[in-house]
Amino acid sequence: MSSLSRELVFLILQFLDEEKFKETVHKLEQESGFYFNMRYFEEAVVAGEWDDVERYLSGFTKVDDNRYSMKIFFEIRKQKYLEALDRQDRAKAVEILVKDLKVFASFNDELYKEITSLLTLDNFRDNEQLSKYGDTKSARNIMLLELRKLIEANPLFRDKLSFPALKLSRLRTLINQSLNWQHQLCKNPRPNPDIKTLFVDHTCGPVATNGMPRVPLASGANANAVGPKAGTTFQLGGHAAFQPSASVAGPTAGLASWMGPNAATPIPPAAAPPVTSKRPRSPIGLPDSYEEGIKRLKDYHETATAAATPTLPSPNLDDLPRNVIRTLHQGSTVTTMDFHPFQHSTLLVGTNTGDVAVWDLRQSEKKVEMRFKSQIVHDTSIAINRAVWSPEGRLIGAAFSKRVVHVFSYNPTVMEVALHLEIDAHNGGVNDIAFASPKQLCVITCGDDHTIKIWDASSGRKQYTFEGHEAPVYSVCPHHKENIQFIFSTAIDGRIKAWLYDHLGSRVDYVAPGNWCTTMAYSADGNRLFSCGTSKDGETSLVEWNESEGAIRRAYKGFRRGGPSGMHGVHQVVQFDTTKNRFLAAGDDGYIKFWDMDNTEILTQVDADGSLPLSPRVRFNKLGNLLAVNADNNYFKVLATKDGMALLRDFDVRKGTPPQLGAAKSEAMTSAVTSSKPSTPAAAPPSSEPTPPPTSSNVPRSREEEVVASIMAEKRSASLVPPTAPTPKLLEFAEPSEVRSVRCPDTLPPAKIARLLYTNAGTSLLALTVTAVHKVWKWTRSNLDRKLDPSSAWVLWQPSNGNMMTNDTSPETRLETTSHCIALSKNDSYVMSASGGRVSLYNLLTFKVMTMFMPPPPAATVLTFHPDNNNIIAIGMDDASVQIYNVRNDEVETKLSGHSKPITGLAFLSGAKLLVSAGADAEVCVWSITSWSKRRSKTLPLTTGGETRVQAHQDQSRILVTHETMLGIYDVDMLDLLTRWSPKDAEHFSDPISAAAYSCDSAFVFAGFTNGAVAVFDASTLTPVTRIALSVYSLRPVYPVVIAGHPTKSNQFALGSSDGSVYVLEPLEGVSDWTKKETEETESKAVVSQAEQGEQSRKHEVS
């Protein structure tokens, strides 16, 4: 075979592997004999699939080829023979002896006789040479080491153990180039060619006669392709020589490229969704970004244009937290901070005295403080280098400057902390700590002993030790892309390494800018990698990496050059953080500096009213509306955007205390506010060392559940005690002038709204009507900073191709009574929807139906995407089952049974790794999303039928349950009822509940009623605080069918009404939230007036 034909085989192997044709890949490897896939071979050996092992080997060598081959086959057949004896399956052992081992008798008859004699022993381990034979698993692993050595030494395997270094999807790229060339040769090339087949050469056919304009192709980026006429470039699946981001190149492309020849996966992993499917109706997997969406052959000419990365508007400085809203005293120097992943106003703080504190920033109160106490280290002069939350927010990890790591358990409902584990982790200091979940939750640490270690987060047992750094390891950055889990580590000599969770060593050895201390972090969507480091000379480098090349993509400017050093002449290391997939922040030269990720020039900087150290530590919350920074004299500050201010001001408003307006306000105002609180935990001096909480390092899970249950029981009992404070007076809104409201314009035929939701970015509204038609409204960017303008704030949007998203229905379907359902992928790219017929998957940019599946019966009643995987969807059915559907594989992975009537509600709790389902049978079930087993269930005390809806609380530990007769907050761990509200027991509400939803911060619950009214509840107690009359937003006799809270603005919600109208409501400009009618200006004047009166009163008392 010629060399070009050989290379073509490798291209086909790469293509098949990317498209997940696993069996075909290995069959072609065997038949061609060009590439021996050691990983596949080892997996088959470990699994004991002996027929597959020998069949695969036969493509590369035979028993009698040479002594290495003979030894390989002998070891495999001997192991198979011993395993049959170990199972006492003597008939099988005799068969193996005669058919497989007999061939070796001609070469070594004595050995064959000795093997035969093992049949006479009750236990072959009685043979002296086999006395150390362990169990089957260990024996296979020992044999595997020998086989690997024999294969590597066998000359027949030379040049067959490594796969050529190919760029991602090389075969696709070559086809793109061919199409470009064919189009260039066309006599009359059209600017919008329509490619329908690869079986014949492309020629531009006649122009379409239907009058519809064709959607233009996306411009190609292939540097090697010959450019076609008219500037048109084909893209077969959107691949090009240079991919603009990791998401385009595929989930593992970046890491695979960095790993080089030592990669654990010899063939580059899948980089794109398959072009075709074994099942034609399958969407073949949902991409993780707009860009990856263009990798679909059957509709690439439309999707490519729609999925091209949009030009982002200029950054708005109001999107950055720049105003100080809290200045709090910790009591010792703050060394590390981290916001809770779901409780966005809960801050974890570590100090230079080893203390761990949890702050509730709404109350400006230190809820918990754990003083350092150790059974291992008795030196009290110890600091915390890093403190972090686990991904689900249930554990806290603290890395100390001497040897130990502490893991604390955290109850988010009552904000309680208890020591869970103490680990003697490293010789010397522990420099960084992180959590990850390669298979189960683990703790990752690094230290002065040049190692990275992985610990089981439940038991504290060590799982891996990674050695390879030649200097103390400074930081770790775990990450995953689809099913590939890996860890970046940096050492103080500037070396960057990457590791998989195995014992095969590092896959990357790279040098960071500055050659000294560096930290790494991904953007929130996991697609962009950044690092920030400071050299020994004080030069700071903040850069973005091109993962596919292992090179720096851009370096950000604006840092001080050199400058003064810290203690002992050592320069302080600049720390950084990312937010909103858009901004970077770093503490440098006493300032907080901000950058747009796509611009190397500094965007702006703030000094946070002064008193910042030279290199302050910065940390965003997950929403990006709060930023914590450490300050001098044992203080730290919290900066906020406008939404962040509303988030923190909410508690002050409900307590009746003046809101903290930041250091920019007058000192008189500040003193008045603080004087109203004679003693707060934040201002109190450090108390004596508390008794350490009981540890639970050896407590089994059942015991932990009992502890949680007892805590929840105490909380429930406490909630039944009559409140000492009077119930707040209900605030009534009855006039349109009291509320900002907009009716979204609609030129389509009106129809009752069945489902309504915001996109995750908050810039669009998506409605599904009872006629199975979807409507999309977009928020005009020009109105973002203005008051709601009924004429232009929201616009009804349709793509230029004129498509409508209309669900599949059957003639027998009664649309008014059928269950309509809709779900949106986390990247706002895809809509899954059903209206009694097949489930439809739409591209939200083109409104094109990508596929339809699951024809009834049974019919889908509720849909929700898996929070971590766009390809997994939970589908509630009218046959009372919940089906877990894999879009990529077009198959139902599992079917959950636990209800007796149709499913009416589903909610994923990603932090707790749970799925909650509710049915028309009043049953609520909790399922583990790792095993899909039922954890527990509860029957609700409902007196009528109807839909029961569920929604996850922001802290992922509670759920809101909605039924026409009640609202309830339940603890998800034990399904204990925390608080409940019913209209039949209410003074101002008697009509049934028609819809309800949490605000984005879970501080409020917005509920609609069948008389058209809307109520705003305090979510912690389900106390109604505001009533909005129908007359505020509509003059028609309508009612809210569905309510949706804005994903980032806690005071904005939208409602879909019974007449087909969609309304958006929020408080008036300047009003802090739904609990007030006064504007902030009026409120501030009142606060200043109170402060001045207080000051005059104090002067009078002194005189």
Find the CATH number of the domain harbouring 1004: 2.40.128
Host domain of residue 846: 752-994
pLDDT at residue number 192: 61
CA 619 to CA 592: how far, in whole Å?
Answer: 11
CB of 430 closer than 8 Å to CB of 422: no
442 within domain boundaries: no
CB of 535 closer than 8 Å to CB of 543: no
Same domain? For 988 and 1028 the reply is: no
Best-predicted range by mean pLDDT (150-154, 413-417, 785-789, 1089-1093): 150-154
Secondary structure class of 364 (helix, strand, coil): coil
* Category of 737 on φ-ψ map: left (φ > 0), alpha (ψ -120 to 50) or beta: alpha
Sign of CA dihedral 853, 858, 859, 860: negative
Same domain? For 917 and 1011 the reply is: no
pLDDT at residue number 669: 30
179 within domain boundaries: no
Which of 994, 1011, 1043 is the endpoint of a domain?
A: 994
CA 1040 to CA 1060: how far, in whole Å?
Answer: 10
785 within domain boundaries: yes
β-bridge mates for residue 794, sequence order: 779
Least confident of 105-109, 423-427, 470-474: 105-109
Sign of CA dihedral 168, 174, 179, 181: positive
**Which helix (H) or strand (E) segment is 788 a member of?**
none
CB of 237 closer than 8 Å to CB of 169: yes
CB of 912 closer than 8 Å to CB of 957: yes
Selected residue with higher pLDDT from 1062 and 708: 1062
Average pLDDT (792-812) is 84
User: 338-386 pLDDT, tens per residue?
Assistant: 999 888 899 999 999 999 999 999 889 999 999 998 889 888 789 999 9
Q: pLDDT-based confidence at 870, cuts 50/70/90?
A: confident
CATH number of the domain residue 582 falls in: 2.130.10.10
CB of 992 closer than 8 Å to CB of 1038: no
Which of 962, 994, 1026 is the endpoint of a domain?
A: 994
CA 609 to CA 603: how far, in whole Å?
Answer: 19
1067 within domain boundaries: yes
How many Å separate Cα 308 from the centre of its chain? 23
Same domain? For 812 and 941 the reply is: yes
235: nearest Cα among 288, 289, 183: 183
pLDDT at residue number 306: 40
User: 259-311 pLDDT, tens per residue?
Assistant: 443 343 333 333 333 333 333 343 434 444 433 443 433 343 333 334 333 44
Beta carbons within 10 angstroms of residue 439's beta carbon: 10
Same domain? For 876 and 1011 the reply is: no
1023-1028/731-733 β-pairing: parallel
User: 754-784 pLDDT, tens per residue?
Assistant: 999 999 888 899 999 999 999 999 886 544 4
CB of 807 closer than 8 Å to CB of 834: yes
104: which 2 tokens? Answer: 């070796």
1006: nearest Cα among 1025, 990, 991: 1025
Buried b / exposed e over 953-979, threshold 16 CB at 10 Å, is bbbbbbbbbbbbbbbbbbbbbbbbbbb
Beta carbons within 10 angstroms of residue 1011's beta carbon: 14
Same domain? For 740 and 878 the reply is: no
Task: Report DSSP letters for 282-345, one per residue.
Answer: ------SSTGGGG--GGGHHHHHHHTSPPPPPPPPGGGS--EEEEEEE-SS-EEEEEE-SS-TT
pLDDT at 616 over 50: yes
Between 67-86 and 136-153, two packed helices, what is the crossing angle to 10 degrees? 170
**Which helix (H) or strand (E) segment is 36 a member of?**
none
CB of 400 closer than 8 Å to CB of 383: yes
pLDDT at residue number 267: 33
70 within domain boundaries: yes
782: nearest Cα among 372, 313, 226, 423: 313
pLDDT at 720 over 80: no
Buried b / exposed e over 667-697, threshold 16 CB at 10 Å, is eebbebbeeeeeeebbeeeeeeeeeeeeebe
Degrees to nearest 5, angle at CA 381 with 380 and 382: 95
Selected residue with higher pLDDT from 647 and 577: 577
Q: Which residues contact 1093 (CB under 8 A, 6 or more apart)?
A: none
The secondary structure of residue 156, as a DSSP letter, is G
Buried b / exposed e over 1090-1102, threshold 16 CB at 10 Å, is bbeeeeeeeeeee
How many Å separate Cα 794 from the centre of its chain? 29
Least confident of 125-129, 765-769, 1097-1101: 1097-1101
Residue 918 burial (10 A CB sphere; 0-12, 13-18, 19+): buried
pLDDT at residue number 835: 92
479: nearest Cα among 865, 830, 760, 868: 868
β-bridge mates for residue 874, sequence order: 864, 884
Maximum pairwise Cα distance, the chain: 117
Which of 994, 1020, 1046 is the endpoint of a domain?
A: 994
Q: pLDDT-based confidence at 313, cuts 50/70/90?
A: low
What average pLDDT is seen over the chain? 79
Q: pLDDT-based confidence at 203, cuts 50/70/90?
A: confident
662 within domain boundaries: no
Sign of CA dihedral 934, 940, 944, 950: negative
CA 879 to CA 900: how far, in whole Å?
Answer: 8
Same domain? For 985 and 1028 the reply is: no
User: 459-490 pLDDT, tens per residue?
Assistant: 999 999 999 999 999 999 999 876 688 999 99
Same domain? For 835 and 973 the reply is: yes
User: 815-857 pLDDT, tens per residue?
Assistant: 777 889 999 988 888 899 999 999 999 998 889 998 898 888 8
pLDDT at residue number 728: 67
Best-predicted range by mean pLDDT (568-582, 595-609, 932-946): 595-609
Same domain? For 961 and 841 the reply is: yes
Same domain? For 738 and 780 the reply is: no
Selected residue with higher pLDDT from 815 and 795: 795
* Category of 948 on φ-ψ map: left (φ > 0), alpha (ψ -120 to 50) or beta: beta
Beta carbons within 10 angstroms of residue 499's beta carbon: 23
**Residue position matching structure tokens 């079986």:** 199
CA distances (Å), 973 to each of 715, 885, 914, 939, 995, in order?
Answer: 14, 25, 10, 15, 25
204: nearest Cα among 222, 220, 189: 189
CB of 759 closer than 8 Å to CB of 740: no
Beta carbons within 10 angstroms of residue 817's beta carbon: 8
Q: How far apart are the first and last CA of the chain?
A: 106
CA distances (Å), 122 to each of 88, 131, 137, 913, in order?
Answer: 9, 13, 21, 49
**Which helix (H) or strand (E) segment is 551 a member of?**
strand 551-556
145: which 2 tokens? Answer: 């080491």
User: 909-950 pLDDT, tens per residue?
Assistant: 877 789 999 999 999 999 998 889 999 999 998 877 788 999
pLDDT at residue number 202: 77
Q: Report the domain count for the chain.
A: 4
Model's pTM, two decimal places? Answer: 0.53
Same domain? For 948 and 1068 the reply is: no
Same domain? For 532 and 584 the reply is: yes
CA 197 to CA 213: how far, in whole Å?
Answer: 21
CA 269 to CA 166: how far, in whole Å?
Answer: 12
769 within domain boundaries: yes
CA 372 to CA 383: how far, in whole Å?
Answer: 9
Using only C-alpha atoms, what is the Rg of the chain?
32
Same domain? For 783 and 734 the reply is: no
397 within domain boundaries: no
Sign of CA dihedral 144, 145, 146, 150: positive
pLDDT at 966 over 60: yes
CA 983 to CA 985: how far, in whole Å?
Answer: 5
